[in-house]
């Protein structure tokens, strides 16, 4: 998976995961995300890439019903969602129909550390502000 913004926005990069209407974006250091993704072992990497492609195609209600793959984290503000596949965890937020990946990590245990969730909440507030100022048609 290569990252290509194509839109001139350096902090918000669309992932080339599918032709669906919903976009999946990385907020922040997209090169760090690409490096992290390249370090995931091949079977898990392919499964995660396929999961992102599927997520881009389904409605939000379908996604939240499939809570094993995409679930809203309780008590988060703004709402934070977790995409989990094997040991890969992606914390993200919704902007309209689009999904914005805020924080990524590998976890061996099911429970997320509170500091990872807080970081995602902070980044979600930052992405909302960034888009409002720089990309109002998002």
Q: Which 3-state string (H, E, C) describes 8-55?
A: CCCCEEECCCCCCCCCEEEECCHHHHHHHHHHCCHHHHHHHHHHHHHH
**φ, ψ for residue 110, nearest 5 deg:** -70, -35
Looking at the DSSP bridge assignments, the partners of residue 81 are 72, 92
Q: Within a domain: residue 10? A: no
The per-residue pLDDT for 102 is 95
Segment among 15-24, 85-94, 102-111, 112-121 with least mean pLDDT = 15-24
Spatial neighbors of 86 by CB under 8 A, at least 6 apart, are: 44, 47, 48
Over 60: is that where the pLDDT of 7 sits? Answer: no
Predicted confidence band of residue 125 (pLDDT cuts 50, 70, 90): very high
Q: Are 88 and 104 in contact (CB under 8 A)?
A: yes
Nearest CA to 34 among 18, 8, 13, 9? Answer: 13
The structural domain count of the chain equals 1
More confident residue, 111 or 67: 111
The per-residue pLDDT for 80 is 96
Q: Within a domain: residue 55? A: yes
Q: Within a domain: residue 85? A: yes
Within a 13 Å sphere around the CA of 114, how many CA atoms are in the beta-carbon half? 1
CATH of the domain at 45: 3.30.2310.20
Q: Within a domain: residue 40? A: yes
Q: Within a domain: residue 6? A: no
Q: Within a domain: residue 82? A: yes
Q: Within a domain: residue 28? A: yes
Q: 72: domain range?
A: 16-133
Predicted confidence band of residue 2 (pLDDT cuts 50, 70, 90): very low
Give the chain's mean pLDDT.
Answer: 81
Q: Within a domain: residue 3? A: no
């Amino acid at each position: 998976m290569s990252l290509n913004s194509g839109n001139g926005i350096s902090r918000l990069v669309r992932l080339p995961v599918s032709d669906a209407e919903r976009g999946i974006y990385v907020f922040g250091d997209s090169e760090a995300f690409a490096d992290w993704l390249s370090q995931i072992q091949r079977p898990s990497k392919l499964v995660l890439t396929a999961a992102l492609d599927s997520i881009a195609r389904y409605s939000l209600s379908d996604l939240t019903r499939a809570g094993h793959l995409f679930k809203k984290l309780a008590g988060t503000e703004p709402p934070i969602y977790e995409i989990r596949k094997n040991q890969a965890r992606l914390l993200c937020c919704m902007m309209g129909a689009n999904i914005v990946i805020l924080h990524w990590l590998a976890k061996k245990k099911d429970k997320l550390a509170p500091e990872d969730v807080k970081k995602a909440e902070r980044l979600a507030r930052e992405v909302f502000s960034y888009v409002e100022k720089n990309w109002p048609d998002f």
